[in-house]
Amino acid sequence: MTLTVEVVYATPQVQTIVEVRLEQGATVEDALSESGIRTQHPEIDTDACRVGIWGRVAARSQILRDRDRVEIYRPLLADPKQIRRRRAEGERKPRR
């Protein structure tokens, strides 16, 4: 039996979605290798990036199911908590 899986990588400018067919028992790492995403986006270090399935962080050894969506996560440029904190501090300052 074969599985159909999507491998997804997105930047602010472009979203790449690659559909791959894999054998039953394939892993996240198998999907990354088979997708060719490393060739399309040489700027990503897929060995260091976190990956997930449907929005949940997953191990590269995770066994895939049919119709799973493997996502490659980019590193955050800024901590969302710090951004919210700075924004809230700015709103507390009196305006002239």
Distance of alpha carbon 16 from its chain centroid, rounded? 11
Mean pLDDT of 3-19: 93
Mean pLDDT of 50-59: 95
The reported pLDDT for the residue numbered 95 is 59
Q: What pTM does this model have?
A: 0.76
Fold of the domain spanning 2-92: Ubiquitin-like (UB roll) (3.10.20)
Among candidate residues 46, 3, 10, the one with its CA nearest the CA of residue 27: 3
What's the rounded Cα separation, in Å, for the pair 61 and 63? 6
Domain boundaries of the chain, sorted by first residue: 2-92
Percent with pLDDT over 70 in the chain: 89
Q: How many other β-carbons are positioned within 10 Å of the β-carbon of residue 32?
A: 22
Phi, psi of 38 (to 5 degrees): -65, -30
Tokens found for residue 79? 């901590």
Percent with pLDDT over 90 in the chain: 56
Asked if residue 6 has pLDDT above 90, the reply is yes
Cα dihedral value 16, 45, 61, 28, nearest 10:
10
